[in-house]
């Protein structure tokens, strides 16, 4: 009895050990990244912005009217870690596998960086023939001991994406629908998770066997491999190659300026945890000074130079000064002067001159960023136009192919009809010829019969003539006989008379 009790315990221990080792291997691979890597890798594809609530966030250079995280230009695939998002963007390796997505006050999607990797940071729902998912909110962690919950209570309705169950692994999803509230009321949260709780645990979504039952299709399970080649995620055979830059250390610091630090504490010191956690509480300070500088801590400095510190402390209250302006959502750009900006009253003329130069440089950079955004948008529009043209051309080709097929089929039908008509005509001609031959044969037979009848008649006539002749000859003979016997008697009688 004790052995029977020990066996399940041993199996459970082995399963927990295996899952722990797997998580550890995954963390050693993809979690070995710094926030500086995100800044360096994502800067060409978007703008880093100082958000008053979440600190440094990244806004991609996309059409915000059509863009939706985990929905636009990508698709779901099943891997050994659950449902994994495969993005078509060159920068998709970072924002869809690290950090969180939110919408700012301008209703724009921005990304909050973090260093914990996952196949996708989303919540899942199912029901009524639909699968749905939505980005997880910031600061949300999964506690599997209390049954999860998916963060549904704080997820806006318009964040949810729904598709029919048969289209979950489609290469392209239909345009976003506004029926979210109706579908949400018909679905329930999927609480399938991977991990042992905390920051390293994520929702895996519907399992492979569930999707097989729902779609009556086979579900292919891919393997995830780490790629050191920058660019979009690729699929080779049964492997999904996701780019991941290797980091020399795991300090978890955001340094937009090459050597500056992000300090989320009240004292302004750099104190990152080993796991690269980002402490994005909602108690940060926004205290711009008269000169238009942002000082987000009580003792730290915002220094956009290459050696300055970025101190985004959030332990105080939001208290903009009366003489300054509150700058919200402006692009965060590093300076190049190397000077310190401190909110300490008066400043020297040299510092003011440097600040003006920095402001000019910042304006120039903003203009350059705007030009880049316009160029990127123009390129995207051109690509969309090209895609549309290609689609139109493809549709035209398909129509032409269909017309050709129809013409070929019509020609084949006409040929078949002609062949059938020819066959029918040939059959009729053959039948007519056979009838004519039969008629000729009948005529010949009739002629032969007539000839035979004529011959018979002639023979009969000849026979009759011969018989008549014979009869006449016989009569003549008889007459001659009878006439010869009577002649002597007459002569005698005549002589006696004399």
- Rounded Cα distance, 254 and 270, in Å: 10
pLDDT of residue 487: 53
The C-alpha atoms of residue 325 and residue 284 are separated, in whole angstroms, by 17
Q: What is the pLDDT of residue 432?
A: 92
Does residue 494 sit in helix, strand or coil?
helix
DSSP class of 303: -
pLDDT (0 to 100) of residue 33: 87
The domain ranges of the chain are 68-108+117-214
* Residue 55 confidence (pLDDT): 92
Triad 204, 42, 362: Cα angle to 5°:
140
Question: What are 363's two structure tokens?
Answer: 């304006």
- Selection from 171, 170, 168, 152 nearest residue 212 by Cα: 168
- The alpha carbon of residue 447 and the mean position of all alpha carbons in its chain are separated, in whole angstroms, by 87
* Cα 431–chain centre separation: 63
What letter does residue 480 receive in the DSSP assignment? Answer: H
Q: Enter the tokens of residue 56.
A: 């440094």
pLDDT on residue 177: 62
For 215, list phi and psi in degrees, rounded to 5.
Answer: -105, -10
- H or E element in which residue 87 lies: strand 82-87
* Res 169: pLDDT: 95
Q: What is the pLDDT of residue 267?
A: 33
pLDDT of 277 reads 37
Task: Provide the 3-class DSSP secondary structure of residue 56.
Answer: strand
Question: What is the rounded CA–CA span in Å between residue 454 and residue 450?
Answer: 6
Over residues 199-203, the mean pLDDT reads 87
Tell me the C-alpha distance between 235 and 79, whole Å.
12
Please enumerate in sequence order all residues whose Cβ is within 8 A of that of 325, keeping only pairs 6 or more positions apart, or say none.
Answer: 288, 292
The predicted pLDDT at position 73 comes to 94
Q: Which residue has the higher pLDDT, 431 or 493?
A: 431
Q: Lowest mean pLDDT of 27-41, 56-70, 426-440, name the range.
A: 27-41
The per-residue pLDDT for range 26-61, each reduced to its tens digit, is 444 556 688 999 999 999 999 999 999 899 999 999
Instruction: Give 311's contacts (C-beta < 8 A, 6+ positions apart).
Output: 262, 263, 268, 295, 296, 297, 299, 300, 301, 302
Q: How many CB atoms lie within 10 A of CB 110?
A: 23
pLDDT of 20 strictly over 50? no
Ramachandran region, residue 127 (left: φ > 0; alpha: ψ -120 to 50; beta: rest): left
Lowest mean pLDDT among 168-177, 202-211, 272-281: 272-281
Measured between alpha carbons, how far is residue 312 from residues 25, 114, 155, 317 in Å? 32, 15, 26, 12
Give 321: exposed, middle or buried? Use CB within 10 Å, 0-12, 13-18, 19+.
middle
Q: What is the pLDDT of residues 86-124, one digit of tens each?
A: 999 999 999 999 999 999 999 999 999 999 999 999 999
Q: Which of 243-247, 343-347, 458-462 has the weakest average pLDDT?
A: 343-347
User: What confidence tens digit (pLDDT) does each residue in 451-482 have?
Assistant: 999 988 988 888 889 898 888 888 888 888 87
Decide if pLDDT at 315 tops 70. Answer: no
Query: Cβ(312)–Cβ(263) under 8 Å?
Result: yes
pTM (2 d.p.)? 0.49
Q: Given pLDDT bands bounded at 50, 70 and 90, which one contains residue 136?
A: very high
**Distance (Å, rounded) from C-alpha 275 to C-alpha 335?**
29
The structure tokens listed for 308 are: 């300055």
Confidence of residue 9 (pLDDT cuts 50, 70, 90): low
Identify which has the larger pLDDT, 494 or 77: 77
Amino acid 216: pLDDT? 94
Mean pLDDT over each residue of the chain, to the nearest integer: 74
Across 249-275, average pLDDT: 37
């Amino acid at each position: 009895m004790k052995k029977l009790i020990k066996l399940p315990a041993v199996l459970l221990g082995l399963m927990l050990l295996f899952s722990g080792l797997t998580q550890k291997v995954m963390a050693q691979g993809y979690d070995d990244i710094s926030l500086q890597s995100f800044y360096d890798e994502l800067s060409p594809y978007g703008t880093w912005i100082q958000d008053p609530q979440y600190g440094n966030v990244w806004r991609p250079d996309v059409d915000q009217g059509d863009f939706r995280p985990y929905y636009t230009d990508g698709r779901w695939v099943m891997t050994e870690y659950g449902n994994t998002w495969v993005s078509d963007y060159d920068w998709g390796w970072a924002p869809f596998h690290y950090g969180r997505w939110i919408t700012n006050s301008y209703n724009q999607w921005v990304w909050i960086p973090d260093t914990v990797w996952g196949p996708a940071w989303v919540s899942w729902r199912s029901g009524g023939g639909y699968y749905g998912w939505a980005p997880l909110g910031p600061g949300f962690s999964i506690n599997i001991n209390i049954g999860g919950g998916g963060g549904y209570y704080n997820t806006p309705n318009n964040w949810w994406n729904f598709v029919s169950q048969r289209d979950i692994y489609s290469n392209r999803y239909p345009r976003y629908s506004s029926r979210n509230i109706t579908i949400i009321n018909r679905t329930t949260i999927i609480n399938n998770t991977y991990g042992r709780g905390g920051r390293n645990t994520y929702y895996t979504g519907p399992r492979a066997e569930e999707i097989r039952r729902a779609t009556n299709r086979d579900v292919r399970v891919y393997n995830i491999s780490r790629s050191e080649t920058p660019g979009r995620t690729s699929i080779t055979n049964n492997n999904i190659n996701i780019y991941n830059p290797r980091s020399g250390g795991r300090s978890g610091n955001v340094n937009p300026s090459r050597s500056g630090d992000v300090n989320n504490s009240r004292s302004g010191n750099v104190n990152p945890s080993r796991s690269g956690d980002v402490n994005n509480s909602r108690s940060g300070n926004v205290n711009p000074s008269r000169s238009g500088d942002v000082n987000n801590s009580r003792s730290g400095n915002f220094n956009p130079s290459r050696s300055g510190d970025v101190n985004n402390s959030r332990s105080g209250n939001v208290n903009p000064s009366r003489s300054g302006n509150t700058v919200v959502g402006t692009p965060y750009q590093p300076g190049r002067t190397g000077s310190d900006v401190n909110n300490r009253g008066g400043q020297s003329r040299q510092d003011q001159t440097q600040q003006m130069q920095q402001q000019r440089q910042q304006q120039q950079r903003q203009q350059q960023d705007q030009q880049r955004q316009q160029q990127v948008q123009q390129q995207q529009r051109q690509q969309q136009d090209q895609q549309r043209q290609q689609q139109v051309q493809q549709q035209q080709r398909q129509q032409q192919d269909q017309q050709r097929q129809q013409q070929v089929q019509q020609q084949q039908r006409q040929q078949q009809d002609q062949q059938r008509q020819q066959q029918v005509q040939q059959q009729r001609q053959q039948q007519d010829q056979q009838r004519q031959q039969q008629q000729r044969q009948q005529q010949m037979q009739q002629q032969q019969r007539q000839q035979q009848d004529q011959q018979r008649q002639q023979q009969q006539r000849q026979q009759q003539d011969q018989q008549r002749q014979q009869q006449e000859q016989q009569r003549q003979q008889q007459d001659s006989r009878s006439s010869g016997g009577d002649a002597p008697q007459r002569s005698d009688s005549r002589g006696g008379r004399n």
